Amino acid sequence: MNRAIYARRRLVNRLFLLLSVSAAAIGIAALALILGALLMNGVAGLSPTLFTETTPAPGSAGGLANAIAGSVLMSAVAVVVGTPIGIFAGTYLAEYGRHTWIAFVVRFVNDILLSAPSIIIGLFIYELLVVRMGHFSAWAGMAALAVIVIPVVVRTTENMLLLVPNTLREAAASIGAPRAIAIRAVTWRAARAGIVTGVLLAVARISGETAPLLFTALNNQFWSNNFNAPMASLPAVIFSFANSAYDDWHRLAWAGALLITLTVLTLSIIARLIESRQR
């Protein structure tokens, strides 16, 4: 009787361990399959012309230069605008607000925005800017991306500032530093690596965002320096090219997808390294 129970428990345990290992295998297999497919299909499209020529008409040769430039430009502006706002807001939550009801509300709303569907952000900017201006524009795309950057930076900044030991703050206060100076010269500096991590994660997040750009920056087949006009971006080009019927365009879409993924993965690995060194 006892032996039977023991055998059954062992069997259940074995089964459970097997399932758990296969779950991990599924996860790793998924990553391997996706990266494998990206490499197989993307490498074929990689060439120097990718970076020098603009997106082609179907049937002719071309590259992704305008899309790459558009993505880099719009992401850069979004990060430059969104980062200070995010850092300031995160600073309020960790330093000034901490236990106030305002901070509670901001924290709650920020975490909602952090996971809110990005297509909703696109609709918001569409109503806010595109409808008012009467046309799609790179400005609108930048605004949409900046709105996505802010919550990411707020969350990491607050978390990182909370890791700074209070003794540092007390030490700054004891030599008579006003709070603003103590924050800037002591707490920010102590949490610098963590804050940089947050910004890197934000860049990684927006460099692949497609949905909020579809009806803000739209897309542009040509090179454009005009922020008041639609601007191409890698994700938007991938979306339209992948949905097309042309093999050339498919190849470019895969190459673009490979570029984005490499960028994102590199950024998140760097962020991870900085974070692990910090701890």
Partner 1 sequence: MVDFALSENIVAPTRAAALRRFGRSDARFRVFTLAAALLVVAIFIGIMIALIQGSWLALSTFGLGFLTSSVWNPVTEKFGALPAIYGTVVTSALAMLVAVPVGIGIAIFLTELCPRPLKRPIGTAIELLAGIPSIIYGIWGFFIFAPYFQQHIQPGIIDALANIPVLQDLFEGPPYGIGMFTASLILSIMILPFISAVTRDVFETVPPMLKEAAYGIGSTTWEVMWRIVLPFARSGVVGGAMLALGRALGETMAVTFVIGNAHHINESLFAPATTISASIANEFTEALGDLYVSSLIALGLILFGITFIVLAAAQLMLRGMERRSGGKSL
> What whole-number distance in Å separates Cα of residue 54 and Cα of residue 41?
20
- Select 48 or 274, whichever has its Cβ closest to partner 1: 274
- Select 73 or 209, whichever has its Cβ closest to partner 1: 209
Choose, by CB under 8 A, the member of 73, 78, 203, 239 that binds partner 1.
239
Query: Please, which of residues 17-76 interact with partner 1 by CB under 8 A?
Result: 17, 19-24, 26-28, 30-31, 33-34, 37-38, 41
Stretch of 52-60, 63-71, 118-126, 188-196 lying at the interface with partner 1 (CB under 8 A): 118-126
Shortest Å distance, C-beta 88 to partner 1: 3
Size of the site for partner 1 (CB under 8 A): 93
> What whole-number distance in Å separates Cα of residue 125 and Cα of residue 141?
8
> What whole-number distance in Å separates Cα of residue 79 and Cα of residue 73?
10
Is residue 173 at the binding interface for partner 1, with CB under 8 A as the rule? no
Residue 198: which of 110, 274, 117 has the closest Cα? Answer: 274
Query: Please, which of residues 178-217 interact with partner 1 by CB under 8 A?
Result: 178-181, 183-184, 204, 207-211, 214-215
Q: What are the residue ranges of helices labelled H in the chain?
A: 2-43, 49-52, 65-91, 101-115, 118-125, 131-133, 138-163, 166-174, 179-182, 188-190, 192-207, 211-214, 234-242, 247-278
Choose, by CB under 8 A, the member of 186, 196, 244, 268 that binds partner 1.
268
Is residue 133 at the binding interface for partner 1, with CB under 8 A as the rule? no
Give residue for tokens 């004891």.
174
Q: How far apart are the first and last CA of the chain?
A: 52
Give the contacts of 211 (CB within 8 A, at least 6 positions apart). 117, 118, 119, 122
- Select 4 or 48, whichever has its Cβ closest to partner 1: 4
Choose, by CB under 8 A, the member of 221, 244, 261, 278 that binds partner 1.
261
Is residue 142 at the binding interface for partner 1, with CB under 8 A as the rule? no
Please, what sign has the CA dihedral across residues 218, 220, 224, 229? negative
Shortest Å distance, C-beta 23 to partner 1: 3
Shortest Å distance, C-beta 134 to partner 1: 14
Query: Please, which of residues 76-105 interact with partner 1 by CB under 8 A?
Result: 84-89, 91-93, 95-97, 102-103, 105
Q: Calculate Rg over the CA atoms of the chain.
A: 24
Is residue 119 at the binding interface for partner 1, with CB under 8 A as the rule? yes
Is residue 9 at the binding interface for partner 1, with CB under 8 A as the rule? yes
